[in-house]
Amino acid sequence: MEKVLPLFLKSKNLSNKFNCEMYFKLEGCNPSSSFKDRGMFLAVSKAIENKKQKIICASTGNTSASAAAYGARYNLGKNC
C-alpha cells in the first residue's frame, strides 16, 4: 500500500532564491490521497507491533481518511 513517491518537480525560483536544488513531491499520489499517509503508516505499524486490534482518531479530514485506509488494509477495527 505504501508508495515511494518520486521527486516531482524542480522549483527553479526556490532553487535560485536559496542557492540549492529544491524539489516538490506530489503527496496526493499517496494511497488515501492524503499527505498524512506517511505518519499514519508508522502509527499503524506501531499498533500492529503492539498487538492492537483497533485504531481510532478524532478528525474530519486527512487524518481520518488515512486512518480509515490503513485500518481497512490491516484489518484494524473492522467490527466498529
pTM assigned to the model:
0.69
Please report the pLDDT score of residue 10 as a whole number.
87
C-alpha cell at 13: 525560483
Report the C-alpha gap between 74 and 12 in whole angstroms. 40
Helix boundaries (H) for 1-80: 12-18, 37-49, 62-73
- Summarised one tens digit per residue, pLDDT across range 13-56 is 999 999 999 988 878 878 888 889 989 999 999 999 999 999 99
